[in-house]
Amino acid sequence: MTYTVRQLAQLAGVTVRTLHYYDQIGLLKPGRLTDNGYRVYTEKAVLPLQQIMFYRELGFSLEEIRDIMGRPDYDVLRALRGHRELLLKRAERISELLATVDRTIGQLKGDGNMDIKDYYQGFDEKQIEAYRDEVRQRWGEETLKDSEARVMSMGKDGLAAVQAEGAAIFQAIADNSAKGHDSPEVQEQIAKWRKWLEHFYSYSDEAVLGLGQMYSQDPRFAESFRKYGEGFPHFLTKAIEQFCIDHC
């Protein structure tokens, strides 16, 4: 398949003038010229143009791009992997900025009047600080800050909705407990719980397993979960351990 300069420009979302300039500086040459002097591009131009656009998005100058892509050892697959790594880092930075924007919007709308105590409903101040210290010791200060920042950005209504979602998941696990901790019904709810955790932090598989075991081993967690049944904390831990065996 061949493309006129206008067709390729529309396909890539750039201007015809841009492609003309790329040709002039030797960055992207057309496959051939017609008898009338019009540029004609083949499919071989599509991938190099994509590479140029990636490099431009990442802040490289045209001169730098020409030098990189003109090297004898230039490898497209390796370049794509590099683009992916850089774009992931940019995405992380953008996510952080979006979270900041959301928190600022919440403050300006009057939704940002949460206190950290709202995150730990049912605990007194000493218990709250003891729990936060434990999180610091287990997973570090950055984990605590990230988790609390996510909660604060939800606002009170958002946090209430997330808490209600979690309660519904645990209730569904309890309702299906007679079918066994490894039953499809229970494991389906554990999968939902695993996804629900991401509201609070990006847990590793190891951390998920550790948290599941804490649900029965830590007296505070166990007491909280007994509202779903006396043996529920132990059942929940077994169900999470099974999930980790199957999926982690």
Determine the pLDDT at residue 143: 77
Q: What is the pTM of this model?
A: 0.51
Task: Check whether residue 152 and residue 222 sit in a common domain.
Answer: yes
- Domain span at residue 6? 2-71
SS (HEC) of the chain: CEEEHHHHHHHHCCCHHHHHHHHHCCCCCCCEECCCCCEEEEHHHHHHHHHHHHHHHCCCCHHHHHHHHCCCCCCHHHHHHHHHHHHHHHHHHHHHHHHHHHHHHHHHHCCCCCCHHHCCCCCCHHHHHHHHHHHHHHHCHHHHHHHHHHHHHHHHHHHHHHHHHHHHHHHHHHHCHHHCCCCHHHHHHHHHHHHHHHHCCCCCHHHHHHHHHHHHHCHHHHHHHHHHCCCHHHHHHHHHHHHHHHHC
What is the mean pLDDT for each group of 10 consecutive residues in the chain (248 residues)? 90 92 92 89 88 87 89 86 83 77 65 59 60 72 78 74 90 95 96 90 85 88 89 95 90
Task: Check whether residue 122 and residue 57 sit in a common domain.
Answer: no
Task: Check whether residue 34 and residue 141 sit in a common domain.
Answer: no
How many structural domains comprise the chain?
2
Determine the pLDDT at residue 57: 84
End position of a domain, from candidates 71, 100, 130: 71
End position of a domain, from candidates 13, 47, 71: 71
In a domain, 97, yes or no: no
Determine the pLDDT at residue 234: 95
Determine the pLDDT at residue 185: 96
In a domain, 51, yes or no: yes
In a domain, 104, yes or no: no
Determine the pLDDT at residue 111: 56
Task: Check whether residue 243 and residue 122 sit in a common domain.
Answer: yes
Determine the pLDDT at residue 127: 57
Task: Check whether residue 65 and residue 121 sit in a common domain.
Answer: no
Task: Check whether residue 133 and residue 239 sit in a common domain.
Answer: yes
